[in-house]
Amino acid sequence: MEQKTIRRAKTSLLLLFISVVFGLLIYSRIKAYSLAPTMKPEDFSKYSWYEVPVYFLWDYISHGWICLLFAFVTAGLVYEFVPKEIVTKYMSSSKSVGYAIGAGLAPFFTVCSCTMIPIFAGILYTGAGIGPAITFLLMAPAANILTIMITGEFISWEIAGVRIIASLITAVLTGLIISRTTWGKEVERKHQVTSQTLGIAQQATEGTTVAVVKPPLDDRLLSALKFGVYLARQILPYFFLGLIMVSYVEAYVPQELVEGYLTGLTGILLASVIGGPLYTPTLVEIVLGRSLLELGMSKAALLSWLMGQPYDIPNMVAVSRVVEWRVVLLYALIAWACSVTFGVLYGIITGSI
Amino acid sequence: MVKNVKVEVIGVEPPCPRCQATKKAVDEAAERLRKAGISLEIEKLNVLSKDVVSRYGVLVSPAVAVNGVVKVMGRVPTAEEIQRIIEDTLK
């Protein structure tokens, strides 16, 4: 009996904390308080070199803390509560289901390549094949919850939305193309354990191989928050280090340079090429993108810049341990071509090219 | 009578921090259960190996399987949780 009371108290306390975090975001909305930093590049001219990062960081933290807190808490909750058995049960059933799960669920499953590569390999091995595997791989970093929320709050929800749609089309298209190439088919032949795949899905549904035990709510909430803290500890040190570097970009890179090189078709091409290798899974690319936008980069180039992340180098190296390099380079090339195409289209539609 | 339970910790190789934390929780649970006369045979499996995939299908790591059934997936369990799961399996 007593243990039950303790559990109930713990659950209430945790729920209260989560409600406060959610409430803060809603309150800031109602009050129309900007969660994005408000300083402009020209504001920095009056500061000396050592004051620049201090003011820049302060600008971000004073406005952005609610958003960051909310993002990490939500990410923790989502990754804890999303039923992961779905992947095991349905991933190997059919190709179209595979694509749907690959694209639709990827954002809820991964924040780091630590879980991404195993799922990629699993999908590949169990019969959904290379197409859905690639779709999952490209969709996961492009649309994970942290990235989307920070992009939405710090830059704009328009670009966050466009980014999801563009990434979705790119991911499915790339998957479909790769699955039709001879290279892709070769990878499938080599890796699939086809004879058993139907059996696996069947067994998982029946619960003979997978029967996930759900712990009590208070334990789940606590572990969700713990995971949020874990994510923050992994990401925030690099994020703040990144902010210091970006502060110098915003303060000292001349506007003419950005306006000259990061606009028009050249801008899109340049942004898409440097966006990939520069990508670090630490949200810094969003902050840098925002600063460059402030300095005059076109929205078209910004989209290409943000879409560059699926083909970042560490990710490609990790994937190359599962499939050959030529397949990796092929999907990177297709994803890159898509990021340029969407950049151009977005530029034409919004008139910011 | 000593009861034997096979526990598989499924993670990536080299282990990521979350997989290490999972292994630690299992080790801790093993320590406690030994006192209750239950001995755990702990094995570490690579989520990327074909053997694992052909037995369990697509898994979200870290995962913990008890006597060949995946009980924990995609999250770091606590030692108490592992202990409870194993006790329930033996019932």
**Most confidently modeled of A258-262, A295-299, B86-90?**
A295-299
Q: Which of B17, B59, B69 sits opposite A122 (nearest CB)?
A: B59
Rounded to 5°, angle at Cα B23 from B21 and B26: 110
Residue A161 has pLDDT above 90, yes or no: yes
Q: Which two tokens stand for residue A317?
A: 């190296």
Q: Which two tokens stand for residue A197?
A: 């795949």
DSSP string covering A23-77 = HHHHHHHHTT---S----GGGGGGS-TTHHHHHHHHHHHHHHHHHHHHHHHHHHH
Taking residues A108-119, what's their average pLDDT?
72
* B90 interfacial to chain A (CB closer than 8 Å): no
pLDDT of residue A153: 87
Across the interface, whether the CB atoms of A87 and B81 are under 8 A apart is answered: no
pLDDT of residue A20: 93
Taking residues A135-164, what's their average pLDDT?
87
Interface ipTM > 0.85: no
pLDDT of residue A177: 92
- How many helices and strands, by DSSP H and E, does chain B display? 3, 4
Q: Which residue of A has its CA nearest to B47?
A: A118
Q: Which residue of A has its CA nearest to B65?
A: A210
Taking residues A255-265, what's their average pLDDT?
86
> Is B19 annotated in the active site?
yes
pLDDT of residue A200: 57
* Radius of gyration of chain B, Cα coordinates, nearest whole angstrom: 12
Residue A199 has pLDDT above 60, yes or no: no
* A353 interfacial to chain B (CB closer than 8 Å): no
User: Side by side, which strands form the sheet with B63-66?
Assistant: B38-46, B3-11, B63-66, B69-73
Residue B83 has pLDDT above 50, yes or no: yes
| Residue A258 contacts residue A296 (beta carbons within 8 Å) | yes
Chain B CB contacts of A123 below 8 Å = 58
* A230 interfacial to chain B (CB closer than 8 Å): yes
Number of residues that this document lists for chain B: 91
Residue A307 has pLDDT above 80, yes or no: yes
- Domains of chain B plus CATH, in order, are 3-85 (3.40.30.10)
Q: Which of A276, A269, A310, A298 has the alpha carbon at shortest distance from A168?
A: A310
| A156: alpha, beta or left? (left if phi > 0; alpha if psi -120 to 50) | beta
Among A194, A210, A227, the residue to mutate for chain B (most B Cβ within 10 A): A210
Taking residues A183-188, what's their average pLDDT?
82
pLDDT of residue B7: 92
Across the interface, whether the CB atoms of B60 and A84 are under 8 A apart is answered: yes
Q: Which of A341, A286, A275, A258 has the alpha carbon at shortest distance from A312?
A: A275
Q: State how far the Cα of A294 lies from the Cα of A6, in Å rounded to an integer.
A: 51
* B87 interfacial to chain A (CB closer than 8 Å): no
Residue B53 has pLDDT above 90, yes or no: no
What's the whole-number average pLDDT of chain A? 83
Could you state, in order of their start, the residue ranges of all structural domains in chain A?
43-350
Q: State how far the Cα of A24 lies from the Cα of A20, in Å rounded to an integer.
A: 6
Higher per-residue confidence, A149 vs B2: A149
pLDDT of residue A195: 46
Cβ burial, residue A253 (10 Å; 0-12/13-18/19+): middle
pLDDT of residue A50: 86
Residue A162 has pLDDT above 90, yes or no: yes
Across the interface, whether the CB atoms of B57 and A119 are under 8 A apart is answered: no
Chain A CB contacts of B91 below 8 Å = none
Residue B69 has pLDDT above 80, yes or no: yes
Q: Which of A330, A332, A319, A337 has the alpha carbon at shortest distance from A133?
A: A319
Among B58, B61, B72, B80, the residue to mutate for chain A (most A Cβ within 10 A): B58
| Residue B60 contacts residue A136 (beta carbons within 8 Å) | no
pLDDT of residue B1: 57
Higher per-residue confidence, A106 vs A236: A236
pLDDT of residue A82: 82
Catalytic residue among B3, B12, B13, B16: B16
Taking residues A53-79, what's their average pLDDT?
88
Q: State how far the Cα of A341 lies from the Cα of A236, in Å rounded to an integer.
A: 32
Chain A CB contacts of B68 below 8 Å = 209
pLDDT of residue A110: 67
Residue B31 has pLDDT above 70, yes or no: yes
| Alpha-carbon gap: A117 to the closest alpha carbon of chain B (Å) | 8
* B34 interfacial to chain A (CB closer than 8 Å): no
- Place A208 in a pLDDT band, splitting at 50, 70 and 90: low
Taking residues B20-27, what's their average pLDDT?
92
Across the interface, whether the CB atoms of B78 and A207 are under 8 A apart is answered: no
* A227 interfacial to chain B (CB closer than 8 Å): yes
pLDDT of residue A308: 78
Catalytic residue among B5, B19, B33, B47: B19
| Residue B12 contacts residue B48 (beta carbons within 8 Å) | yes
* B69 interfacial to chain A (CB closer than 8 Å): yes
What's the whole-number average pLDDT of chain B? 86
Q: State how far the Cα of A188 lies from the Cα of A327, in Å rounded to an integer.
A: 11
Chain A CB contacts of B51 below 8 Å = none
